[in-house]
Structure 1
Amino acid sequence: MAGSYRRAMNTLYLLCVITGCTALVLISAVIPWAVFTRYVLNSAASWPEPLAVLLTIVLTFIGAAAGYRLNQHMNVSYFADRLPAPFRRLLDLLVQLLMALIAGFMIVWGGRLVEVTWYNTIADFPFLSVGVTYLPIPVGGVCLLLFVIERIFLGAPMDPLAQHPQAAPFD
């Protein structure tokens, strides 16, 4: 059971990374286009800025869950590292429970935000529901909660990309 859950979390992690990287690449393409249309063509496009904001929401919430899973986020562990091992484990459990609380907040309140704004539209994208644009908040919360559960019951995961022979390390 533990191996199946770990494999499922590896797959979810890779999906989060692919989603976050795709959003980042698209942001990197959209912003220069906005600059080009504004300063070279003298006719600023109206859609790049709101699209970049929407992609930033995806990058922030989905990408943050992936960063959390491999402990790639910013943290200050100076004092925690100086605690005796039993207290360190207890503190780590407390941190994981607090992260689960944050994930629950994202799921509940993000879900409500999606629900309340589902029938609103964005002026620059009238075919797109505002609720859809907020969907990364509860989705990121679910991913984060699943990663917290993994960390509590199975421990910190190894990087799944490092396990593939095709992933050559940078020298």
Structure 2
Amino acid sequence: MAAAFRRAMDALYLLCIVVGCIALVLISAVIPWAVFTRYVLNSAASWPEPLAVLLTIVLTFIGAAAAYRLNLHMNVAYFANQLPARFRKLLDLLVQFLMALIALFMIVWGERLVEVTWYNTIADFPFLSVGVTYLPIPIGGVCLLLFIIERVLLGLPADPIPQHGEASREAAPFD
């Protein structure tokens, strides 16, 4: 059961990474287009800026969940690392509990935000519901909560990307 849950979280993590990377690539393409149309063509396109904002929402909430899974988020652990191991474990459980509260907040209030804005449209994208644009908030909250559950039950997952030193040791076994 634990191995199946870990594999499911690995797949969810990969999906979060792919979605976040696609959003980042699209942001990187849209912003130069906006600059080009404004300063070269002297006719600014109206859609790149709101699209970049929408993609940033996707990148932020989905990407943050993925970063949290592998402990790649920004954190300050100096004082926690000074504690005895027993207290570090308790502090980590407290942190996971507080993060679970944040994830639940994102799920509940994000869903309410989606529901309230579902029938509104965006001026530059009249075919797109505002509620759809806020879906990354509760979806990111669900991903985050699942990653927290995984961490509490199974521990921190292994980093799927070898670090620089690990890769060079594997590439040069005779050093």
TM-score, structure 1 normalization: 0.94
Q: Which residue of 2 aligns with 1:106?
A: 106
Q: Distance in 1 between matches of 2:167 and 2:119?
A: 47
1:128 is paired with a residue whose SS is strand
Q: 2: distance between equivalents of 1:129 and 1:67? A: 28
Equivalent residue letter for 2:135: L
Amino acid at match of 1:135: L
Partner residue in 2 for 1:138: 138
Instruction: Report sequence identity in percent.
Output: 81
Give RMSD over aligned pairs: 1.4
Structure 2 counterparts to residues 17-96 of structure 1, below 5 A: 17-96=17-96
Aligned to 2:2: 2
1:165 matched to which residue of 2?
Answer: none
Structure 2, unaligned runs of 5 or more = none
Structure 1, residues 117-157: CA drift from partner, whole Å, max 9, x if none? 00000000000000000000000000000000000000000
| Runs of 4+ with >6 A deviation | none
Q: Distance in 2 between matches of 1:161 and 1:107?
A: 29
- Determine helix, strand or coil for the equivalent of 1:127: strand
**Once the 2 structures are TM-superposed, how far is the Cα of residue 159 of structure 1 from its aligned partner?**
2.0
Separation in 1, partners of 2:10, 2:160: 6
- Alignment partner, residue 13 of structure 2: 13
- Indicate the structure (1 or 2) with the bigger Cα radius of gyration: 2
1:160 is displaced (CA, Å) by: 3.1
Structure 2 equivalent of residue 160 of structure 1: 160
Q: Is the 8 A contact 1:110 1:135 kept in 2?
A: yes
What is the distance in 1 between the residues matched to 2:129 and 2:71?
33
Q: How many residues align?
A: 166
1:114-133 to structure 2, matched below 5 A, reads: 114-133=114-133
Q: Tell me which residue corresponds to 1:148.
A: 148
Paired with 2:130 and 2:167, the residues of 1 have a C-alpha distance of 41
In the TM superposition, what is the alpha-carbon distance from 1:161 to its structure 2 partner?
4.4
